Amino acid sequence: TRVFGNGGQIEMMERLLKNNIVVKVIAFFLAMMLWLYVTDDALRANLPDVTRTFRNVSLTWLNLDERLEIMQIPAGVDVVLNGRADLINEITPENIKASVNLEGLSEGQHRVFPKAEVPRGVRVLSFIPQQVAVTLEVVESPQEPIVQEITGSPDVGFVMGEPRILPAAVFVRGPRSLLARVDRARATVNVDAADGDRVQMVPVQAVDAAGQVINNLVVNPAMVEILIPFSKPQKTVPVRVRLSGEPAAGYVVRQVIITPATVTLEGAKEDLAAITEVVTEHANISNATGNIFLELTLSRLVDGVSSLFTGKVQVEIVI
C-alpha cells in the first residue's frame, strides 16, 4: 500500500484538474467543428435549385463504324442543367461531356439524341437542339499514281534526267465525295542549285484539278523517295585523225580505222554547239609503205568542255 502525504495529494489533485481542463478544451473544439460541419451541410441542403444553360459545349461521338467518315456534325450543343446553386456555380463547359452514339448507323443523314455526363448531384434537363444532324459517308481507299512537280533550277550547266519515284503510287483514303475531287497525288521536289544526283524524301498531297490540297484525306505512304539524276549537257561527235606527211611513192591511204569512232562530250550547251568533231594529235605517215598502228591522244578541248572518254584512241591506217 502506497501512502501519500498531504503534499502528494495536493500535487495529484492539481495534475488531475489540469488534465481535465485540457480534455474539456479539446472536447469543446471537436464539438464546435462537428456543429459547423452539420450546420454547413444543412445550409447547403437548403440551398435552392437553379437552372442554367451552358452554351456551345463540345460534342464528341462514340462507336463510329470504321468504314464510315463523319462529313457533318455540330461542333457543340447547348446543355441545360439543374441542381443546387453551389454545385451549378462550380461547373464550366469543360466539366460537361456531351456526345452522340453512332452505333449501327449507315451511310446517309441521321438525327441523333445527344447525351451528357455531368458532375454528381446535377441533372441534365435538356439539349439545344434536342437532336443533332449527322451525315455519314462510306470511306474508300483507291490507288493513285504519283505525279512529281519540280520547282527551282539546277546549277548552271546541269540538266535534269528522268526522275524515279519509290513507290510510284499511293493509296488515298477518305469519303467518296472528297475522293471524287482528287485529280492527282502530287509530290513536289525543289532542285535549286542541284549540281549532281539528288535524292529526297518528300510528302505526297492529294490535290484537285486546280492544284489545291484536299483536306481530310489520308495518303499512305505519306512520304515517298524521289531520285533525280543531274548531269551537264552532252553531245556525241566523231573522232578525226590528223595525218601529216605522205606515204612512199606509189602508196596511198586507203582507210583510217579509229576506235572509238565517236566520243561523248560534256559541257555548256553553247560550247557544245560549236563543236562538230574531236581531232587527235598528228599521225605521221611520211614514206609509209604499209599499215600503221598507233595510240593517239585527243587534242585539248575548249575550257568548260570535257570528254567522257579519257583514254587514247586506237588507230589503224591502211596503206
Question: By C-alpha distance, which of 108, 173, 107 is closest to 142?
Answer: 173
CATH number at residue 245: 2.170.120.40
Residue span of the structural domain in which 227 resides: 141-231
d(CA 257, CA 191): 44
Is 37's pLDDT higher than 90?
Answer: no
pLDDT at 4 over 50: no
The pLDDT confidence band at residue 166, using thresholds 50, 70 and 90, is very high
Q: How many Å is the maximal CA-CA distance in the chain?
A: 167
Compute the distance between CA of residue 52 and CA of residue 170 in angstroms, rounded to an integer.
51
What is the reported pLDDT for 77? 98
Task: Specify whether 113 is located in the same domain as 53.
Answer: yes
Domain identity same for 80 and 37: no
Shared-domain flag, residues 195 and 263: no
- Look up residue 230 and give its amino acid: F
Mean pLDDT of 41-65: 85
Q: How many domains does the chain have?
A: 4
Whole-angstrom Cα distance, residue 196 to residue 189? Answer: 15
pTM: 0.57
Contact 199, 164 (CB under 8 A): no
> How far is CA 121 from its chain centroid?
46
User: What mean pLDDT do residues 215-237 have?
Assistant: 93
- Kindly state the average pLDDT of the residues 136-164: 91
93-129 pLDDT tens trace: 999 999 999 999 999 999 999 999 999 999 999 999 9
Pair (126, 179) in one structural domain: no
The per-residue pLDDT of the chain, averaged, comes to: 89
Among 194, 212, 231, the domain boundary falls at 231
Whether residue 251 is found in the same domain as residue 173:
no
Examine the fold and report which residue of 201, 231, 261 is the final residue of a domain before the chain moves on. 231
Final residue of a domain: which of 187, 211, 231? Answer: 231
